[in-house]
């Protein structure tokens, strides 16, 4: 990461100030999405739904691996000195958010692989017959299933929170300088994950469970956004100015229309009608939730980069 990893002796770093591209927003979105799916899959495993052939917890780990790899690729493309990326994984620095993130991501892959082994894809089992035997042993042990579920839920929560810490730890940008950002990205990740799993779930009961859960996630996300803005508005003048960029400034139209309106409020109206069977099941609400979650990351990333502690010089 270009701005967050600035130190004098780090060869990955360019000491000059760089502006992030959209790759970081994509990485934050995919990271939160993977985190949410891991927590949902872990919950279903704890409830014993892995015994159901149509359970999404048996199919989502493979998709999660693909999504996380795409997110890692987006992160790699944003690095200034790509040849030195291996150094992030050669050392661990407790005070560095980037170091924590790098190692959390390394641990996530084995957790996803363990979840995948509960029911490996048929083609993969045909290529590697020992996977079927290993899957049988895992399914015969309830303790192993619970351990995999707990590991996925714990690492999913850590990954989701980390996507917010990655920005909030960077105090040079007032908009990001809020502890609420970690909770916001975690809840948003759960919401987009519930929407995605809702879209691909084959079991009707599972879709309804996820729709109900997403109503709660969306309501919580709206509350956290409110607290996030209140926290900024009750702080220093630069924090107030940063909040105004979302409330009434250049990013306000996108924020209010696509993030709040279409991404949260409309699904909050549609989903209860679907759950209560007043209207037919529709993919519109989940698609809006996923799109709103992506746009939220873009707005926070780019609006945050535009916020500064020192007043900008105004040209006449």
Each domain of the chain, given as residue ranges in start order, spans 1-170, 173-311
pLDDT in tens, 243-302: 999 999 999 999 999 999 999 999 999 999 988 889 888 899 999 999 999 999 999 999
* pLDDT in the model for residue 6: 37
The pLDDT confidence band at residue 10, using thresholds 50, 70 and 90, is: very low
Contacts of 89 (CB under 8 A, 6+ apart): 102, 103, 106
CA dihedral 81, 83, 84, 85 (to 10 degrees): 90
64: enclosing H helix or E strand = helix 60-78
Is pLDDT of 2 > 80? no
For residue 316, the tally of other CB atoms under 10 A from its CB is: 2
Q: CA angle 297-305-243, nearest 5°?
A: 75
Q: What's the pLDDT at 259?
A: 97
How confident is the model over 91-139, as pLDDT tens digits? 777 777 777 777 888 899 999 999 999 988 877 777 888 888 888 888 8
């Amino acid at each position: 990461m270009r701005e967050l990893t600035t130190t004098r002796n780090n060869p990955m770093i360019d000491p000059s100030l760089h502006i992030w591209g959209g790759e970081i927003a994509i990485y934050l979105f995919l990271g939160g999405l993977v985190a949410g799916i891991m927590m949902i899959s872990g919950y279903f495993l704890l409830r014993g739904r892995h015994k159901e052939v149509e359970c999404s917890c048996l199919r989502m780990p493979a998709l999660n691996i693909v999504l996380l790899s795409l997110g890692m690729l987006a992160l790699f493309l944003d690095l200034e000195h790509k040849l030195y990326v291996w150094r992030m994984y050669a050392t661990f620095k407790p005070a560095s958010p980037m170091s924590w993130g790098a190692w959390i991501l390394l641990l996530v892959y084995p957790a996803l692989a363990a979840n995948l082994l509960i029911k490996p894809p048929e083609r993969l089992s045909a290529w590697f017959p020992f996977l079927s035997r290993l899957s049988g042993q895992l399914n015969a042990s309830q303790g192993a299933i619970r351990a995999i579920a707990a590991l996925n839920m714990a690492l999913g929560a850590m990954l989701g929170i980390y996507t917010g810490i990655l920005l909030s730890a960077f105090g040079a940008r007032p908009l990001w300088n809020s502890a609420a950002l970690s909770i916001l990205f975690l809840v948003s990740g759960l919401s987009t994950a519930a929407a995605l799993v809702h879209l691909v779930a084959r079991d009707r009961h599972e879709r309804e469970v996820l729709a109900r859960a997403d109503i709660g996630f969306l309501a919580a996300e709206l509350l956290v956004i409110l607290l996030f803005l209140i926290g900024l508005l009750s702080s220093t003048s630069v924090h107030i100015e940063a909040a105004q960029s979302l409330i009434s400034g250049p990013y306000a139209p996108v924020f209010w229309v696509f993030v709040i309106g279409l991404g949260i409020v409309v699904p909050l109206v549609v989903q209860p009608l679907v759950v209560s069977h007043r209207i037919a099941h529709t993919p519109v609400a989940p698609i809006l939730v996923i799109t709103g979650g992506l746009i939220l990351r873009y707005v926070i990333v780019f609006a945050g980069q535009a916020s500064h502690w020192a007043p900008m010089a105004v040209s006449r």
